A and B are shown apart, each in its own frame.
Chain A
Amino acid sequence: MSGAALSYRFVTARTLALVRDLELAARMVVDGMMLGRHVSRRAGAGLEFSQYRSYQPGDDLRRLDWKLLGRSDRYFVREAESETSITVRILLDATGSMAHEENGVSKLDYARFLAAALALLAHRQGDAVGLYVLSDGRAVTLRPRREPSHLHRLLHELERIQPAGRWPVWSALERALTPDAARGITILLGDLHERSDEIRASVRRLAGAHHEVLCFQVLGDVERGFGYRGTVTLEELETGRRLDLVAERARDRAVSRLEEQLRELRYAVEESGSVLIPCLLAQPFEGPLREYLARRDRRA
């Protein structure tokens, strides 16, 4: 790996926001993260070379290394890592609350980069990747496929997303996900702010439909620590409701109340057998990607 890739290892969303090309940004993230990583794969037919072994009767002649035969006059079979493909579904929360922005980076930007990196990672591993954008009460679907053109289409779709509306009702989500019966991982990217328990219910139902659900909860650092100062006017993005507060006076209770809500959410998610991984806007993408890879390998 080059020095450039090394520097991308801890790349953050703020840095990536300067990169116009989402695919390039995704490559920076993935290349930086994969630096020095040795993926444990089973040997077998595949694209990546693993080892040579002596030819045995019955072996597929197409796997015979003819060049080596010419040089050594011996029969060797070229072995590659055996790949187990899975289906990765990326559910991207693009509701109004994802427009929350800190230091020039919105939650949607972060989720967009993370989704692109995940899609690229999955594509490189030969997995089928699908995208489901949850916005304005509906789900825009890009069904899972493995073709490189599909990845480009997916990245293009990610670039177009604008935050709007609220979380869709379960029936809309179910319509979008049901045709994809293949086993795999369902990744939910969003801030997971609920009005009641609609997201918890969705995760529960997805888990009930044999999805392995991985929830990446994207929160702002300031939002998490209520790091506002002085008298502030807060406006809820999805409802437009406003609240004037003295930040210093509200901080302790706001933080503890948010932590309490997050604990309840985590408990509800994990109760359904799913995983919730918190992500902060200022944090590098490596952590969430590694978490994904660990899950993916276990699944594969």
Chain B
Amino acid sequence: MFSAPLWLYGLATLAIPLALHLWSRRPREVIRVGSLRHIAELAEARSWSARLTEPLLLALRLGILACIVLALAGPRFSAGRLGSSVNHLVLIEPALLLDSSLIRSDPLLDSLTRSRATVRLLARGLPRVQLDGVRTEFRVPSSEFKGSPLGTRNAERGTLWDLLVSADRLVSPGGEITVIARPRVTTLGGRRPALRARVTWHAPAPPKPATWAAARWRTADDSLLSLTGWGDARGVGYGQARGPEGACADCPVPRSLAVLTRAADSAGGRRLGLALLAVAGLLGQRVHPVRVADSADLILTTAALNDSLLGLDRPVVSLEPAVVASPTLADSVMAHWPWQPLERDGADPREVSVAQALPAAGSAGPDESRDARTPLLLFALALLGVERWLATRPRRRAA
């Protein structure tokens, strides 16, 4: 691929050294002299056209010109391909593999399994998927995974665009990529790339509303306070529920954590509040301060706990007083945070429209290819050095 292919017409300049070479090889009058002994050493007077007749020099000059012209044309080459090119590549969201009923019920998936198309998972490394056309099942060899299976952690999944760019390298120019996935908000960060392949998006049926436990802690011997997440195609939320152990009540009303902060002085209290906000923001949790311990979900204190607090069945983060003045206060709060961080991205079921999920239209490839101008120019420079050395080196003296 060239960014300025019009420069390729410059390859016609290759005809110049070739023509000079042929011209210099034309038969011409030879002067027969008695002796060359006195002029054999005059290397600097050797005719340049004589040196044109040397095939090696000609090849070097052609190479130099070709490199310069190609460099002007702005060649780009792919940084590397994952495998041999295919015309049609099917990418399937890993989550779909968990639901075999979905696969069976989807006519597109069914036809793909029967056509034996090239199928890969829409996960990091694009693991190959083996299709069993008889049983209509997918099997992913464990050796195909580079990371945790099915990319359960967000950091290993990568954005959808990254995966599509990688898949585009596998497809020959003008090929087709069929994506079978639910386009989610959390996977569509960044700028949509322009791909060489034509992308067709197929979104399976939307999932059922989901509910999951974000965090739980015991409040009494027989009761449990749970932070519950819920979501469907319209959005996601978190709620708090209190009930007997084992209960998993849905709390559709979002609510932030109530935190009671106690410090030795008001300045320490403000610092604790700020650290709390920083940690909550980092974890994706909303917090609000309360003044009464009974209504608090978390107690954050640098003071000694009195009996009234000790009797409460609340998570307590007790910090050393000296930590309050430390610049690492937020880190200390984070280290003592009693609940697991909420995996908002992994659990966010919100989807976007297929049109929004498609990459930008255009024939230009992703800017993953590398500019080859510099290597070509360096190579031309090296060739020029060799050519100059060969052209100017002293000739062997005749015996």
A-to-B contact residues, CB < 8 Å? 97-101, 107, 191, 193-195, 223, 226, 228, 231-239, 241-246, 249-250, 253-254, 257-258, 260-261
Contacts and interface: CB of A to CB of B under 8 A. Distances in A.
Interface stretch (B40-48, B122-130, B295-303): B40-48
Nearest to A262: B38
Contact of B28 (A107, A233, A238): A233
Interface in B9-57: 28-42, 44-50
B398 interface: yes
Contact of A253 (B36, B37, B42, B47): B42
Contact of A244 (B38, B41, B49, B398): B49
A223 B33 contact: yes
Given A231-B50, A237-B32, 11 more contacts: A97-B33, A232-B31, A233-B29, A238-B34, A245-B42, A245-B45, A245-B46, A246-B47, A249-B45, A250-B39, A261-B37
A235 B34 contact: no
Contacts of A107: 34
B46 A244 contact: yes
Given A243-B39, A243-B40, A254-B39, A237 B46 contact: no
A250 B31 CA distance: 15
Contacts of A244: 46-47, 49-50
Given A241-B398, A246-B47, A235 B31 contact: yes
Contact of B49 (A231, A234, A261): A231
B39 A193 contact: no
B36 A100 contact: no
Contacts of A261: 37-38
B37 A195 contact: yes
A237 B30 CA distance: 11
Contacts of A226: 39
B34 A234 contact: no
The B interface, classified by DSSP as helix, strand, loop or mixed, is loop
B47 A231 contact: yes
A237 B31 CA distance: 9
A3 to B, nearest CB: 38
B22 to A, nearest CB: 16
24 contacts: A97-B35, A100-B32, A100-B33, A100-B34, A101-B32, A191-B35, A193-B35, A231-B47, A233-B31, A234-B36, A236-B33, A237-B33, A237-B34, A239-B36, A241-B36, A243-B36, A245-B39, A250-B39, A253-B39, A253-B45, A254-B38, A257-B39, A261-B37, A261-B38
B34 A223 contact: yes
Contacts of B30: 233-235, 242
B268 to A, nearest CB: 92
3 smallest A-B Cβ distances: which pairs? A244-B50, A97-B34, A250-B45
Most buried by B among A97, A237, A245: A245
Contacts of A254: 38-39, 42, 45
Given A250-B45, A254-B39, A261-B38, A234 B28 contact: no
A4 B36 CA distance: 41
Given A233-B29, A245-B39, A193 B34 contact: yes
Contacts of A241: 36, 398
A194 B35 CA distance: 8
A188 B369 CA distance: 79
B36 A249 contact: no
B31 A234 contact: yes
Contacts of A233: 28-31
Contacts of B41: 257
Nearest to B29: A233
Contacts of B50: 231, 244
A192 to B, nearest CB: 9
Given A257-B39, A261-B38, A249 B33 contact: no
B36 A246 contact: no
A258 B32 contact: no
Q: Which of B35, B39, B47, B49 has the most CB of A within 10 A?
A: B35
Contacts of B35: 97, 191, 193, 236, 238
A179 to B, nearest CB: 31
B321 to A, nearest CB: 94
Nearest to A253: B42
Nearest to B38: A257
Contact of A245 (B28, B37, B47): B47
B39 A235 contact: no
Contacts of A239: 36, 398
Contacts of A99: 32
A134 B47 CA distance: 35
A103 B39 CA distance: 22
B45 to A, nearest CB: 4
Contacts of B47: 231, 244-246
Nearest to B51: A244
Contacts of B398: 239, 241
A98 B35 CA distance: 10
The interface centre, meaning the residue of B34, B37, B48, B398 with most chain A CB atoms within 10 A of its CB, is B34
A211 B30 CA distance: 40
A239 B30 CA distance: 14
B396 to A, nearest CB: 12
A234 B48 CA distance: 15
Nearest to A218: B34
A221 to B, nearest CB: 13
Contacts of B44: 249
Interface string B92-121: 000000000000000000000000000000
Contact of A235 (B33, B46, B48): B33
A235 B45 contact: no
Chain B CB within 10 Å — which of A236, A242, A258 has the most?
Answer: A236
